[in-house]
Structure 1
Amino acid sequence: MRIGAHVDPTDPLAEAAIRTADAVQFFLSDPQGWKAPQPREDVDRLRASDVDVYVHAPYVVNVATLNNRIRIPSRKLLLGHATAATEIGARGLIVHGGHVNAGDDLAKGFDNWRKTFAYAAEQGGFGVPVLIENTAGGDNACARKLDALARLWDALDGYDVGFCLDTCHAHAGGEELLDLVDRVKAVTGRIDLIHANNSKDAFDSGRDRHDNLADGTIDPELLVALIRAADAPVIVETPGGADGQGADIAFLRQHLGGTSA
């Protein structure tokens, strides 16, 4: 099992070495901004490395919204990040499921997702697997609850769509972790990546605050069981910098097995 961490984008491979990580995830631009990603000087190193690379799209991306001033730039930004992720040999581009505003028809949000994939197809495709990630909060979210996720997957039928399961988001979003892998796969047919995070907050809190794997409100044994059942690559997005994440990677290797970089 390949196990890694979300790291600073300046020198991801150095960050991987510090953590003895098999994989890294990072942003290609400001996660809270709308700027397009710029070419990287380390593109050849990233493509040649044995470390698996994943890219996380900016948090501002929301292709589901009915607000044209957010949806249309989001659609373009997502495609731009997919192109840049392809250039560096990334194995996937992770993007949050998004939401519509209160009072808006959630069905239109799912259809906006369909239009996003149709738009990308018209431009030649994303070029890299797009992994939609479940989210922790919001009553109008496209990927918080499994019933909404099922409607999203129905809307995207015919497109090759991947899924990233975040354990903190599932817990905070009100989905029990016991047997969650089976319930997710019944909807999506796949889990391409696990974001392995404990939660600082209670079940169904709607709050997205990650904690280290042996801490937080989720039983660590339950996290291990879920990750084992998913049998997918793992990225920890936990606090504590290299020390905290390195300890979490070691924890998973101890309980699951896995290679070291």
Structure 2
Amino acid sequence: MRIGAHVDPTDPLDAAAIRKAEAVQFFLADPQGWKAPEPRADAEQLRAADVDIFIHAPYVINVATLNNRIRIPSRKLLLSHATAAATVGAKGLIVHGGHVSKGDDVAVGFDNWRKTFAYAAEHGGFATPVLIENTAGGDYACARRFDALARLWDAIGEYEVGFCLDTCHAHAGGEELLNIVDRVKAITGRIDLIHANNSKDGFGSGRDRHDNFEHGMIDPDLLVAVVRAADAPVVVETPGGADGQSADIAYLRDHVGG
């Protein structure tokens, strides 16, 4: 099991070494912006490194929305990030499940996801596997509650699409962590990456605020059980910089094997 952390994109390999991480996740561009990624000078080193690379797509991407001014640029930006992620040898491109607006039919949102993969296929496909991540909030989200996730997978399951399970998002989104791996795999058939995060807020809060393993509202033993059951690469997105993340990585290494 490869365990790592979300790090600053300036020098991911140095950040990995400091944390004793076997995997890193980072952004290739402003997570709140619409600019396509620029080529990285360290692309060759990243490809050659014995560190698993994961790229997180910008938060602004929402391919589910009925708003053309957001959906169409989102499709293009997702495709460009997948292409750029391949240049650094990324094993996956993580993107949030998105949402529709109040009053809109969420079924159209699921179909917009299907059209996103069809759009990519018309342009040669995604150069990096796309991993859709469950989200913490929103009454009209496509990947918060698992009944919605099942409808999303009904729409896109024919494509080669992966899944990233975020423990904080599941807890805050109102999905119990007990036996969650079995419930996800019954829908998606796979878990490609775990975002192992504790939560600053209570169950079903809808609030996306991560915490370190031993300081949040989720029993750390439950986080360990999820990671062990998933048997997938793990990225911690926890606070506290290198010290906080190093402690969480060490905690997982000490407990997952037990």
* TM-score bracket for the superposition, by shorter chain length: over 0.9
Letter in 1 for 2:137: G
Shift of 1:256: 1.5
In the alignment, what sits opposite 2:127? 127
- Give the Cα separation in 1 of the matches to 2:225 and 2:15: 27
For 1:53-72, what per-residue CA distance to the aligned partner results, in whole angstroms no more than 9, with x for missing partners?
A: 00000000000000000000
Counterpart contact for 2:157–2:188, Cα < 8 Å: no
Q: What is the CA–CA distance in structure 2 between the aligned matches of 1:229 and 1:36, rounded to whole Å?
A: 36
Post-superposition offset of 1:257 = 4.1
Once the two structures are superposed, residues 207-237 of structure 1 have per-residue CA deviations (whole angstroms, 9 ceiling, x without a partner) of 0000001111000001101110011000000
Provide TM-score, normalisation by structure 2: 0.99
Q: Which residue of 1 aligns with 2:145?
A: 145
Q: How do 1:181-192 residues align onto structure 2 when only pairs under 5 Å count?
A: 181-192=181-192
- 1:26 alignment partner in structure 2: 26
Aligned partners of 1:146, 1:24: CA distance in 2, in Å? 27
Q: Which residue of 1 aligns with 2:46?
A: 46
SS state at 1:113 partner? helix
Look up the match of 1:108: 108
Structure 2 gaps, min length 5: none
Residues 40-65 of structure 1: CA deviation (Å, up to 9, x unaligned): 00001000000000000000000000
Alignment of 1:223-238 (within 5 A): 223-238=223-238
**How is 1:39-78 mapped onto 2 (pairs within 5 angstroms)?**
39-78=39-78
Q: Tell me how far apart the structure 1 counterparts of residues 67 and 135 of structure 2 sit (CA, whole Å).
A: 20
Q: Secondary structure at the match of 1:238?
A: coil
Which one has more relative contact order, counting CA pairs under 8 Å at least 6 apart?
1
Relative to the length of structure 1, the TM-score reads 0.98
* C-alpha distance in 1 between matches for 2:87 and 2:121: 18
Q: Deviations over 1:229-261 (max 9, x none)?
A: 011000000000000000000000001249xxx
Q: Is the 8 A contact 2:62 2:99 kept in 1?
A: yes
Identity %: 80
> What SS does structure 2 have at the residue aligned with 1:216?
coil
Amino acid aligned to 1:248: D
CA RMSD of aligned residues (A): 0.8
SS at match of 1:93: strand
Count of residues in correspondence between the two structures: 258
> Aligned residue for 1:85?
85
Give the letter aligned to residue 28 of structure 1. L
Q: How does 1:207-222 map to 2 (within 5 A)?
A: 207-222=207-222
Which whole-Å CA distance do the structure 1 matches of 2:222 and 2:180 have between them? 11
The alpha-carbon deviation at position 128 of structure 1 amounts to 1.1
| In 1, Cα distance between equivalents of 2:123 and 2:188 | 25
| Distance across 1 between alignment mates of 2:229 and 2:41 | 38
- State the match for 2:196 in structure 1: 196
Aligned partner of 2:95 in structure 1 is 95
CA distance in 2: counterparts of 1:40 and 1:112, whole angstroms: 31
Contact kept? 2:210, 2:239, Cα under 8 Å? yes
1:150-192 Cα shifts (integer Å, max 9, x gaps): 0000000310010000000000000000001000000000000
CA distance in 1, matches of 2:180, 2:111: 26
> In 2, distance between residues paired with 1:222 and 1:240?
21
The 1-side partners of 2:244 and 2:157 are apart by: 39
